């Protein structure tokens, strides 16, 4: 069965992280039972660190700085906070295309296509998860993080893009376990955009990025705010 296009939810205000995880868990359960549409949820959180399934405690450099949450997604430590757009994606891969690698590739494409709308070239790097940019003065920095969990073929978590966060907050961790490269944002690269513009770009590029999953002709409109590990 191929599902209809996902529902979209967009939050204007930060959402409590544990509540967001609980909402994802509940939504995934009903998606799996064909009792709800899939969901693309654009949101943000107050400053916090998350620890993925392969996080090294030694890479949490200042554990008392912000709340720290263990999470079932893949990856290591990452930061979430204001000025960052988080996209939680809940798709039924079994109904669409049961290929986790292709799904992660689509998330990367989504970030790259979105950044291109703001004249920023996002790139993949072999052996380094996430989305990277070449800095004007040389060197590279990370602008987007990806962390995925799949439960009974329904996806959780997803993508975060740095729009204009406080980049000093990353000093409390080794981001994604990669110490030799820094992090950046659209604002740090000279692109000062409103979050609504980012949301529109994410909406506009979603179908192209996920065309292989039958999402090349998304329907419906975003709604206002209302509220890689695999599990069999």
What are phi and psi for residue 203, nearest 5 degrees? -65, -45
- Residue 104, judged by CB atoms within 10 A of its CB (0-12, 13-18, 19+), counts as buried
Q: What angle do CA 217, 221, 225 make, to 5 degrees?
A: 135
Task: Give bridge partners of residue 229 from the DSSP assignment.
Answer: 149
Would the CA dihedral through 211, 216, 220, 222 be positive or negative?
Answer: positive
Q: Edge-to-edge strand order for the sheet containing 77-80?
A: 68-70, 48-51, 77-80
* 193 closest CA partner among 170, 162, 158, 160: 162
Rounded (10°) angle between helices 195-209 and 100-116: 140
* 160 closest CA partner among 192, 126, 115, 193: 115
Half-sphere exposure of 102 (CA within 13 A, CB side): 12
103 is catalytic: no
Check 154, 176, 183, 198 and give the catalytic one: 176
SS3 100: helix
For the annotated catalytic residues, the residue numbers are: 176
């Amino acid at each position: 069965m191929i599902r209809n296009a996902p529902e979209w939810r967009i939050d204007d205000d930060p959402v409590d992280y544990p509540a967001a995880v609980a909402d994802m868990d509940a939504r995934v359960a009903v998606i799996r039972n064909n009792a709800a549409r899939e969901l693309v949820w654009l949101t943000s959180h107050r400053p916090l660190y998350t620890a993925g399934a392969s996080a090294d405690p030694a890479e949490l450099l200042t554990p008392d700085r912000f709340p720290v949450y263990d999470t079932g997604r893949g990856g290591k430590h990452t930061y979430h906070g204001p000025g960052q757009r988080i996209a939680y994606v809940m798709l039924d891969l079994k109904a669409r295309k049961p290929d986790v690698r292709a799904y992660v590739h689509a998330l990367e494409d989504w970030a790259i296509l979105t950044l291109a709308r703001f004249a920023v070239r996002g790139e993949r790097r072999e052996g380094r998860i996430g989305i990277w940019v070449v800095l004007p003065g040389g060197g590279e920095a990370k602008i987007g993080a990806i962390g995925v969990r799949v439960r009974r073929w329904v996806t959780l978590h997803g993508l975060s893009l740095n729009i204009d966060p406080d980049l000093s907050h990353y000093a409390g961790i080794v981001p994604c376990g990669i110490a030799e490269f820094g992090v950046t944002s659209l604002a740090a690269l000279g692109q000062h955009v409103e979050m609504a513009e980012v949301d529109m770009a994410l909406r506009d590029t979603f179908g192209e990025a996920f065309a292989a999953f039958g999402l090349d002709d998304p329907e419906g409109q975003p709604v206002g705010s209302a509220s890689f590990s695999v599990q069999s």
